[in-house]
Amino acid sequence: MKMTMRWFGSKYDTVTLRQIRQTAYVKGVISTLYGKMPGEVWSAAEIKSLKDEVEEAGLTLDGIESVNVSDAIKTAGEGRDKDIDAYIQTLENLGKNDIHMVCYNFMPVFDWTRTELARVRPDGSTVMAYSQKAVDAIDPEKMFDSIAGDMNGTVMPGWEPERMARIKDLFKMYEGITEDALFGNLKYFLEAIMPVCDKYDIKMAIHPDDPSWSVFGLPRIITSLPNIQRMMKMVDNPHNGVTFCAGSYGTNPENDLPAMIRALKGRIHFAHVRNLQFNDGRNDFEEAAHLSSDGSFDMNAIVRALYDIGFEGPIRPDHGRMIWGEKAMPGYGLYDRALGAAYICGLWEAIEKSEAEK
Ligand SMILES: [Mn+2]
Please state the domain extents for the chain. Answer: 2-356
**Angle 41-3-352 (CA atoms, 0-180°, nearest 5)?**
145
Q: How confident is the model at residue 158 (pLDDT cuts 50, 70, 90)?
A: low
Distance between CA atoms of 264 and 228, rounded to whole angstroms?
9
What is residue 328's predicted lDDT score, i.e. its pLDDT? 92
Give the mean pLDDT of 187-197.
98
DSSP class per residue in 30-73? EE--TTPPTTPPPPHHHHHHHHHHHHHTT-EEEEEE--PPPHHH
What is residue 116's predicted lDDT score, i.e. its pLDDT? 86
Q: How far is the CA of 273 from the centre of ligand 1 (A)?
A: 8
pLDDT > 90 in the chain, percent: 78
Lowest mean pLDDT among 165-174, 183-192, 242-251, 311-320: 165-174
What is residue 157's predicted lDDT score, i.e. its pLDDT? 66
For residue 117, CA distances in Å to 44, 150, 216, 281 come to 35, 6, 19, 19
- Does 207 participate in catalysis according to the annotation? yes
- Does 245 participate in catalysis according to the annotation? yes
pLDDT digits (tens, 9 = 90+) for 54-71: 999 999 999 999 999 999
The helix-helix angle for 80-96 and 179-200 (nearest 10°) equals 30
Report whether 188 contacts 142 (CB < 8 A).
no
What is residue 145's predicted lDDT score, i.e. its pLDDT? 72
Sequence-ordered alpha helix ranges (H) in the chain: 17-22, 44-56, 71-75, 80-96, 132-137, 143-148, 161-164, 167-173, 179-200, 225-234, 246-249, 257-263, 299-308, 335-356
Q: How far is the CA of 70 from the centre of ligand 1 (A)?
A: 19
Bigger pLDDT: 224 vs 358 = 224
pLDDT digits (tens, 9 = 90+) for 121-142: 999 999 999 988 888 887 777 7
Q: How far is the CA of 357 from the centre of ligand 1 (A)?
A: 33
- Residue of 319, 335, 336, 343 with catalytic role: 319
Give the mean pLDDT of 34-41.
92
What is residue 213's predicted lDDT score, i.e. its pLDDT? 84
Please determine, for residue 105, whether its predicted confidence score (pLDDT) is greater than 70: yes
Q: How confident is the model at residue 358 (pLDDT cuts 50, 70, 90)?
A: confident
Give the mean pLDDT of 188-211.
97
- What's the mean pLDDT when you consider all of the chain? 93
Please determine, for residue 111, whether its predicted confidence score (pLDDT) is greater than 80: no
Q: How far is the CA of 218 from the centre of ligand 1 (A)?
A: 20
Maximum CA pair distance of the chain? Answer: 59
Give the mean pLDDT of 348-353.
97
Bigger pLDDT: 281 vs 309 = 309
Bigger pLDDT: 73 vs 160 = 73
- Residue of 100, 245, 269, 343 with catalytic role: 245
- Does 52 participate in catalysis according to the annotation? no
Give the mean pLDDT of 269-293.
95
Give the mean pLDDT of 199-225.
92
What is residue 216's predicted lDDT score, i.e. its pLDDT? 81
Please determine, for residue 163, whether its predicted confidence score (pLDDT) is greater than 90: no
Q: How confident is the model at residue 159 (pLDDT cuts 50, 70, 90)?
A: low
CATH architecture of 2-356: Alpha-Beta Barrel (3.20)
- Does 290 participate in catalysis according to the annotation? no
For residue 45, CA distances in Å to 14, 17, 156, 247, 283 come to 24, 20, 25, 34, 46
- Residue of 13, 62, 294, 318 with catalytic role: 318
What is residue 82's predicted lDDT score, i.e. its pLDDT? 97
Q: How far is the CA of 66 from the centre of ligand 1 (A)?
A: 11
Q: How far is the CA of 65 from the centre of ligand 1 (A)?
A: 10
Please determine, for residue 212, whether its predicted confidence score (pLDDT) is greater than 90: no
Amino acid at 194: M
Give the mean pLDDT of 14-18.
97
Q: How far is the CA of 61 from the centre of ligand 1 (A)?
A: 18
What is residue 110's predicted lDDT score, i.e. its pLDDT? 76
Q: What is the dihedral angle through the alpha carbons of 143, 147, 151, 153, rounded to the nearest 10 degrees?
A: 80
pLDDT > 70 in the chain, percent: 96
Bigger pLDDT: 305 vs 280 = 305
- Residue of 207, 239, 269, 290 with catalytic role: 207
Closest CA to 95 of 206, 239, 246: 239
What is residue 70's predicted lDDT score, i.e. its pLDDT? 94
